[in-house]
Amino acid sequence: MSSKRKITVAYGDGIGPEIMKATLGILEAAGAAIETDVIEIGEQVYLKGISSGIEPTAWDSLRESKVFLKSPITTPQGGGFKSLNVTTRKTLGLYANVRPCKAFSPYIHTHFPETDMVIIRENEEDLYAGIEHRQTDDVYQCLKLISRPGSEKIIRYAFEYAKKYNRKKVTCMTKDNIMKLADGLFHKVFNEVAKEYPDIEADHKIIDIGTALIADKPEMFDVIVTLNLYGDIISDVAAQITGSVGLGGSSNVGEDVAMFEAIHGSAPDIAGKDIANPSGLLNGAIMMLVHIGQPEVAEKISNAWMKTLEDGIHTGDIYQEGVSSKLVGTQEFAQAVIERLGQKPENMTPAEFKKGDGADDNMGAIKLTERKPCKKELIGLDVFIDWKENDRDANVIGDKLRAVDADGLKMQLITNRGVKVYPDGMKETFCSDHWRVRFFNADQTVISHGQILEILKQVEALGFDFIKIENLYTFDGERGFSLAQGE
């Protein structure tokens, strides 16, 4: 039996084939024990009419190898093509996106030479669930879904990562001063999990100031764990300030499968010219080697790569007059790395990977806390209505809906874009055509689904177009919905 580990490889689009050739050449020269299975993804597949951008048979290879080294692809504009990255992450349950962002100063120009952080981004939930609706002429909705298991999984992964790689601090970033329930859940789970790791400092920052600090004092961060959208944004900020968007690799880790790639795109503007920097994909491949239990090969390549940077052998994107000694193309850069295999950087800290690093020892498989289901009680209803008559006068819609009554379930207030406009609204509040009408029993006791159906019947009979409803629940007596501004 071959002792080589099978990996699935996709050459991708644009500069993808060039940087993959360079990367695999280095891996082979370094003695990586891998056997590649090449699959088709990207533009050619999209243009065959497969909207996911991946051949259906390619999933079999991924299921078998469980490791995917992927070059960037070009997503054709328009035409309903789905992002292959989002599809792959969700289909294979790759819940953790791990992006190390490190400065390689003075060889790569940066204002922040001390930067050395790892961003761990939740990969499956949040606004990326892709559930969007247009509800009225004025209003579009995109649902933000945050789950407790999803949050716990990524937060535990971040602490396990910190423990394994000897990192000292994990910072959580959310916007829970505004999204008290959704982001509040993530922060709450972070606090719960942090208690189990007393040797690791736990910190929380609101995402706006957190992003500003990444851009100004990146050295204060070590591991950052955050929600999908915030993670998407801050990882580009962090990569940019290290001066190395073209150098960064990333991994997408699930319980079963992991995908490794460069953080940049397919760079069609420089494709086919042999000038692209292969370092981003190479760094992704280094993470892959650690993951599949070949840390000594990863270490050898990483050190040779740093030595190449130190020797000033640079591709055009990082070439600096006075720092660089030779301008090289993609394959010549790879050759320079190959020639330095076995050497270590002299000024930068050499890489050190231990056996047992990575996820082959099951780091992606996180055990979640068992919880008893809560006692869930239905105590109210929000009915959303599309209405644009009478100059959108809240008093007109409010006075009409006052008549609705289903066994004591009655309207208590109306909001427009979250602000209370009836009763006692302010005339200055701008109203869209999207109204939320909130119903409770007078004493906020439990209501029935029958009462809800009766409310909808009466709302319709009054001539209103209801566009959706949300049930209002308590969980073990705790309110499971936000209050309106002014409620």
* Distance between CA atoms of residues 487 and 424, nearest Å: 11
C-beta of residue 366 within 8 angstroms of C-beta of residue 156: yes
Give the position of tokens 């190959």: 338
Q: How far is the CB of 268 from ligand NAD (least distance, A)?
A: 6
Q: Would you count residue 235 as binding ligand NAD (CB under 6 A)?
A: no
Q: How far is the CB of 17 from ligand NAD (least distance, A)?
A: 12
Phi, psi of 39 (to 5 degrees): -120, 160
Among positions 236-255, residues that touch ligand NAD (CB under 6 A) are 246
Strands 116-122, 223-226: parallel, antiparallel or unpaired by DSSP?
parallel
Q: How far is the CB of 269 from ligand NAD (least distance, A)?
A: 5
Q: How far is the CB of 301 from ligand NAD (least distance, A)?
A: 17
Of 73 and 394, CB closest to ligand NAD: 73
> Considering only 185-193, 276-284, 425-433, 437-445, which stretch makes contact with ligand NAD by CB under 6 A?
276-284
Output the residue with the shortest Cβ distance to ligand NAD: 265
* Distance between CA atoms of residues 347 and 106, nearest Å: 10
Q: Is 145 helix (H, G, I), strand (E, B) or coil?
A: strand
CA 211 to chain centre: 15
The length of the chain in residues reads: 487
Among positions 461-480, residues that touch ligand NAD (CB under 6 A) are none
The amino acid at residue 36 is T
Q: Is 7 helix (H, G, I), strand (E, B) or coil?
A: strand
* Distance between CA atoms of residues 56 and 139, nearest Å: 37
Q: Would you count residue 80 as binding ligand NAD (CB under 6 A)?
A: no
Q: How far is the CB of 367 from ligand NAD (least distance, A)?
A: 30
Binding ligand NAD by CB under 6 A: which of 8, 23, 65, 74? 74
Binding map of ligand NAD across residues 192-231, x = CB under 6 A, - = no contact? ----------------------------------------
DSSP single-letter state for residue 20: H
Q: How far is the CB of 241 from ligand NAD (least distance, A)?
A: 16
Q: Would you count residue 39 as binding ligand NAD (CB under 6 A)?
A: no
Q: Would you count residue 93 as binding ligand NAD (CB under 6 A)?
A: no
Among positions 305-334, residues that touch ligand NAD (CB under 6 A) are 317
Q: How far is the CB of 1 from ligand NAD (least distance, A)?
A: 34
- Other Cβ atoms less than 10 A from the Cβ of 271: the count is 17
Of 184 and 316, CB closest to ligand NAD: 316
The number of residues that bind ligand NAD (CB under 6 A) is: 19
Q: Would you count residue 276 as binding ligand NAD (CB under 6 A)?
A: yes
* Distance between CA atoms of residues 159 and 188, nearest Å: 15
C-beta of residue 234 within 8 angstroms of C-beta of residue 210: yes
Q: How far is the CB of 328 from ligand NAD (least distance, A)?
A: 12
Q: Which residues contact 37 (CB under 8 A, 6 or more apart)?
A: 6, 7, 8, 9, 61, 64, 65
* Distance between CA atoms of residues 310 and 92, nearest Å: 38
Helices 182-194 & 148-164 angle (0-180, nearest 10): 40
Structure token pair of residue 353: 């990977």
Q: How far is the CB of 110 from ligand NAD (least distance, A)?
A: 17
Q: Would you count residue 280 as binding ligand NAD (CB under 6 A)?
A: yes
Binding map of ligand NAD across residues 252-271, x = CB under 6 A, - = no contact? ---------x--xxxxxxx-
* Distance between CA atoms of residues 410 and 451, nearest Å: 10
DSSP single-letter state for residue 41: B
Q: How far is the CB of 137 from ligand NAD (least distance, A)?
A: 31
Q: Would you count residue 274 as binding ligand NAD (CB under 6 A)?
A: no
C-beta of residue 155 within 8 angstroms of C-beta of residue 189: yes
Q: How far is the CB of 75 from ligand NAD (least distance, A)?
A: 4
Among positions 425-444, residues that touch ligand NAD (CB under 6 A) are none
DSSP, residue by residue, 147-187: -HHHHHHHHHHHHHHHHHTT--EEEEEE-TTT-TTHHHHHH
Of 149 and 316, CB closest to ligand NAD: 316
> Considering only 201-209, 273-281, 442-450, 457-465, which stretch makes contact with ligand NAD by CB under 6 A?
273-281
Of 14 and 218, CB closest to ligand NAD: 14
Give the interface with ligand NAD as residue ranges (CB under 6 A).
15, 72-75, 85, 246, 261, 264-270, 276-277, 280, 317
